[in-house]
Structure 1
Amino acid sequence: MQPRRVAMISLHTSPLDQPGTGDAGGMNVYVIELARRLAQRGTEVDVFTRATSSRLAPVVDCGDGVKVRHVTAGPFEGLTKSELPAQLCTFAREVLRAEAVEAVGHYDVVHSHYWLSGQVGALARDRWRVPLVHSMHTMAKVKNAALAEGDVPEPPARVLGEQQVVAAADMLVANTDQEAKQLINLYDADPGRVEVVHPGVDLTVFRPRDRAVARAGLGLPQDAHVVLFAGRIQALKGPEVLLRAIAHLLAGAPDLRSRLVVPVVGGPSGSGLDKPEALASLTDELGLGDVVRFVPPVAQAELARWYAAASVVAVPSYNESFGLVAAEAQASGTPVVAAAVGGLTTVVDHGRSGLLVEGHAVDAWAAALRRVLTEDGLHARLAAGAVAWARGFGWERTAAQTLEVYRRAHDALRDPLGRRAGLDGMLR
C-alpha cells in the first residue's frame, strides 16, 4: 500500500529555513527534499513545524503536493532547543487539532524527525491509529561519546526521550549501517524495525561545473588552492580543526600561502551561538586573516557554485549521522577530506572519492590536505571518483526506499503481536 498522505513532524526547525546557521542544517534539506520526492510519486506531505514568527503564514503551499504547516507553540522567538520540551504538549495539541477538521483517515503515516518530533509523533500515531516512522538524525549517546573540546553534553532528559521514541516507533529509519547498529546497541532497538535508507543529494543542483566559471563568479583567483568549509559553525562540526591544520600546513609549506584561500561558508549554531566571534578570533590568533574568508549561509544553488569552485572540501566533524556536505561536494566533482566518523565513512569512499582522516590531530589533517592539493594526479583521480560515488545517493532512491519503510510500518501496525507499546503518559 502506498500512503495517500503523510504527516511529517519537524518541530524544532522548519524545512523552509536557510541551512547553515542556527538549528538549520542537513535535516532541513532532508525533510523538504524527501517530501518533494514523495509527492512526485503520488504521496502528499504535510510538514508540521513550530512557528518562529508571527509573520509566517499558517500554511505554506510549496506546490506539487507539499505543504508546511506552522504551529504556534510558545513564544515565536527566544526559545532555545533545550527549552522546547516544555512546549511539546501545546505543539501536539495543535497538530491533533489541525487533523481533527479533516475527514477521518486524513493521514496514513506519521514520519517524525529528531527526538522532540518523535514524542509528538507517538501521540499522533496512537490518536490517528496510523504507523509511526521515526528518523533520529542525531543521537545524544553518540554525540556525548565524541564531544568536541568545549562542547556541551546532551542532557539525560534527551537520552530518556530518545529511548521512549525508539520503543514507540513502528519503524526506525537509519541513515547508515553504523547508525542502525547504534540504535540497536545503544538504544535496544528491535533489529526487525530498523531500516537503513541513505539520504540523498539533488544531482540536478549539485553536479560538476566549469571551475573557472565558478571561481570567476565568486571572485576567487583561478590558480588558487581553495579549501572549503561549509556548514554550521559549532564545535561539533570541527571548523577550528581545519583552521589549525591550515596553520600547520603553512608552517611546513610557506610557499603555498600566496595561493591558499579558505572560505568558511555558514553561521553560528549550537554551542557556537555562545561565542559567535570565536572562530574569527582563532583566525587572527593563528595569523590566517589573509587566507580565511567568512561567508554567510547561502542558498543551495549558490552553495553548489562554492563546491565547484573549491579544490577540496574539508569535513572535520566529530560526528555526522550522514554527512550531507560531503555528499554534495562529491556530486559537484570536488574531493573531500573528512573525519572517519559516523556516516562519513559511508559517504566518502576512502582513496577513491576523498580521504578519511582518523581522529582530529592537526598534523594528520594538514598532511591529508597537502596530499590532495599537491600530490601529482591525486586530485584528478579523486574528483572523478567523487562524481561516480555520489551517483548512488540520489533522492529518488531515498524516496522509493522510504515508501517501502512506510509499507512495512503499516504491516507492523496491522499485526497485534508486532505493535509497539504507546507512550502512555509521555507528554504529561
Structure 2
Amino acid sequence: MDHSSRRGGGDAGKERLRVLNLCESAQGGAGSYFRHIAALEERGFDMEFVLAQEHVAAVDADLTMTTFPRPRRGSRGLRAMLAAFRARLRAQDPDVCVFHSSFALAALAAMRAAGDRRPAVYCPHGWAVSSYAEAPLRRALVRVLEGRGSGLADVTLCVSEHEREVARALGYRGRFEVVENGVPPPRAEARSDLFGGGTGVIHLLFVGRLDRQKGFDLLAEAFERARRPDLRLHVVGEAVRGDGVARSGGEGIVMHGWVPASRLDDWYALADALVVPSRWEAFGLVVPEALRNGTPVFTSDQGALPSLIEPGRTGGHVPLTVDDLAALLRSLDRQALRAMRPACRAAYETRFRLERQLEELAALLRAVAR
C-alpha cells in the first residue's frame, strides 16, 4: 500500500471533515469523478481514496490514496479491497465513508455487520442491474443485492435524475439524492494539428471504452452503412472489459487508443461533433466535456443521455439502432454543427460547471456527517 502526504487548505471557519472513498474499479467515469471531487480539499475536506493499484494511471491525478492489488476482478481482488479499506478505516477514522460502484457495497455491508454506524454514502455510478438486461436470472440477483445494499447507506448519491428514477422504479431501499456531475473548464490552449483530410471533412469523435455498454460496435456498423466519404470517425479509447463486442476500425475510422485526460480537450475542441451511442448510461461525463469545448453531442436515447442535450441547439439523440445511427450520420451538415457551438458552451456554463457540483456535494457530505 502507498500513502501520499495530505494536502492542506480549506474554508476558514469550518471544521475539516475526513472523507474516505472506496472504489473497486476506477477505470473510466469513476476515475474522472475522483479527479473532480478531489477539489473538495479546498472546501474543508480531507479526501482519501482507496483504489486498485492497477487503476492509478486511469485516475491521472495527485490524490491522497491507498492502493490494493487487483490484477483482475475476482475473490482475491475483493479480499484485498476489503483489507485495504479496513486498514484505512482504523487509521484515518473518517467522518464519512463514500462507497463507489456496486462491488464497494461488500465493504459497506462488512462495516455495518461489524457494528460501525458512522455516516456512509453510496454512489452507484450507474446501477449494475442495467448491464444485465439480457440475463434475467443475474439481473434478478443483482437487483436484490444492490437494492438492499443501497439501504445500508445514509444516503445514496445519484449522478442524474434518471439514476434516481431507476432506483425508485425498482423499489431500492434508502434515501436518494441527486448531485448532477460537472466538469472543470476546458484547457486554455488546444492543439490544432490532430486531424487531417482537408477543409470539407466532418470530423466525428467517440471517446470511451470499446465495450458493449458504450455501443461502439453499433456506431462502427452505422458508419459503414452511411457511406459518406467526407466523414471521419476518430476513436479515443480501447476495450477494457473484453465482453466480445469491441471491433477494430474500418474505412474512415481512425483508432487512436487512450490519450491522457489532460489532452482530451485537444480532441473535443477540434471535432465537429461527439457521438455517444451507449446502451445504458447513468450520466455520461463525455457529454459536458464536449460541451465545454463548444462541441455538439449526438447520443442514443438510453439512460440519462437524452436529458443532457437540447435537440437542435446542442446536438440531438436518436433511437439506439444501427439504422437510426446511420440516418443521423447521413444527415450531418458541417455548417449546422458549427452554428451550434455557442449554445454548447452556454450549456456548459449554465449547467455543467464543476463548481456547482462541488458546492452541492460539499453540502450533502456535511449534512450526512452531522
Range into which the TM-score falls when normalised by the shorter chain: 0.7 to 0.9
Structure 1 match to 2:28: 25
Query: In the aligned structure 2, how far is the partner of 1:305 from the partner of 1:403?
Result: 31
Query: In the aligned structure 2, how far is the partner of 1:27 from the partner of 1:152?
Result: 26
The answer as to 2:189 corresponding to 1:189 is: no
Which has the greater radius of gyration?
Answer: 1
**Cα distance change of structure 1 residues 262 and 129 upon mapping to structure 2, 3 Å threshold:** same
Q: Is the 8 A contact 1:2 1:407 kept in 2?
A: no
Structure 2 match to 1:138: 126
Structure 2 match to 1:174: 158
SS of residue matched to 1:389 = helix
Q: Which amino acid aligns with 2:303?
A: G
Q: Deviations over 1:351-390 (max 9, x none)?
A: 2111111x2233322232333325xx52133222111112
Q: How far does residue 198 in structure 1 lie from its aligned partner after superposition?
A: 0.7
Query: In the aligned structure 2, how far is the partner of 1:331 from the partner of 1:157?
Result: 39
Q: Deviations over 1:193-240 (max 9, x none)?
A: 2111111112133x7x67xx52x2444544321111111001211112
Structure 2 match to 1:330: 291
Q: How far does residue 169 in structure 1 lie from its aligned partner after superposition?
A: 0.9
Residue 211 of structure 2, aligned match among 234, 237, 241: 234
**Cα distance change of structure 1 residues 175 and 136 upon mapping to structure 2, 3 Å threshold:** same
Q: Which amino acid aligns with 2:97?
A: V
The answer as to 2:25 corresponding to 1:12 is: yes
Structure 1 match to 2:68: 71
Structure 1 match to 2:247: 279
Query: In the aligned structure 2, how far is the partner of 1:332 from the partner of 1:262?
Result: 18
Q: Is the 8 A contact 2:214 2:276 kept in 1?
A: yes
Q: Is the 8 A contact 2:120 2:155 kept in 1?
A: yes
SS of residue matched to 2:125 = coil
Q: Which amino acid aligns with 1:380?
A: R
Q: Which amino acid aligns with 2:153?
A: A
Query: In the aligned structure 2, how far is the partner of 1:367 from the partner of 1:117?
Result: 41
Trace 1:229-378 onto structure 2 (pairs within 5 A): 229-250=206-227, 256-257=228-229, 259-272=230-243, 274=244, 278-280=246-248, 283=249, 288-289=250-251, 291-357=252-318, 359-373=319-333, 377-378=335-336
Query: In the aligned structure 2, how far is the partner of 1:99 from the partner of 1:242?
Result: 44
Q: Percent identity, aligned pairs only?
A: 24
Residue 96 of structure 1, aligned match among 80, 86, 90: 86
Query: In the aligned structure 2, how far is the partner of 1:203 from the partner of 1:33?
Result: 11
Q: Is the 8 A contact 2:219 2:277 kept in 1?
A: yes
Q: Which amino acid aligns with 1:229?
A: F
Q: How far does residue 339 in structure 1 lie from its aligned partner after superposition?
A: 0.5
Q: Which amino acid aligns with 2:144?
A: L
Q: How far does residue 172 in structure 1 lie from its aligned partner after superposition?
A: 0.7
Q: Is the 8 A contact 2:183 2:289 kept in 1?
A: yes
Structure number with greater CO (CA < 8 Å, separation at least 6) is 1
Query: In the aligned structure 2, how far is the partner of 1:120 from the partner of 1:130?
Result: 13
**Cα distance change of structure 1 residues 247 and 93 upon mapping to structure 2, 3 Å threshold:** closer
Structure 1 match to 2:7: none
Query: In the aligned structure 2, how far is the partner of 1:318 from the partner of 1:378?
Result: 27
SS of residue matched to 1:388 = helix
SS of residue matched to 1:270 = coil
Query: In the aligned structure 1, how far is the partner of 2:212 from the partner of 2:132?
Result: 13
Q: Is the 8 A contact 2:53 2:68 kept in 1?
A: yes
Q: Is the 8 A contact 2:108 2:152 kept in 1?
A: no
**Cα distance change of structure 1 residues 26 and 101 upon mapping to structure 2, 3 Å threshold:** closer
Q: Is the 8 A contact 1:133 1:169 kept in 2?
A: yes
SS of residue matched to 1:47 = strand
**Cα distance change of structure 1 residues 62 and 364 upon mapping to structure 2, 3 Å threshold:** closer
Trace 1:39-58 onto structure 2 (pairs within 5 A): 39-52=41-54
Q: How far does residue 153 in structure 1 lie from its aligned partner after superposition?
A: 8.7
Q: Is the 8 A contact 1:175 1:343 kept in 2?
A: no
Q: How far does residue 42 in structure 1 lie from its aligned partner after superposition?
A: 1.9
Q: Is the 8 A contact 1:122 1:169 kept in 2?
A: no
Q: Is the 8 A contact 2:60 2:261 kept in 1?
A: no
Trace 1:93-132 onto structure 2 (pairs within 5 A): 93-102=83-92, 106-124=93-111, 128-132=116-120
Q: Which amino acid aligns with 1:382?
A: M
Q: How far does residue 39 in structure 1 lie from its aligned partner after superposition?
A: 0.7
Number of aligned residue pairs: give it: 354
Q: How far does residue 329 in structure 1 lie from its aligned partner after superposition?
A: 1.1
Q: How far does residue 328 in structure 1 lie from its aligned partner after superposition?
A: 0.8
Q: Is the 8 A contact 1:141 1:186 kept in 2?
A: no
Q: How far does residue 101 in structure 1 lie from its aligned partner after superposition?
A: 3.7
Query: In the aligned structure 2, how far is the partner of 1:101 from the partner of 1:142?
Result: 36
**Cα distance change of structure 1 residues 300 and 153 upon mapping to structure 2, 3 Å threshold:** farther
Query: In the aligned structure 2, how far is the partner of 1:131 from the partner of 1:178?
Result: 25
Q: Is the 8 A contact 1:3 1:109 kept in 2?
A: no
Query: In the aligned structure 2, how far is the partner of 1:373 from the partner of 1:154?
Result: 43
SS of residue matched to 2:323 = helix
Q: Is the 8 A contact 2:66 2:84 kept in 1?
A: no
SS of residue matched to 1:247 = helix
**Cα distance change of structure 1 residues 331 and 220 upon mapping to structure 2, 3 Å threshold:** farther
SS of residue matched to 2:218 = helix
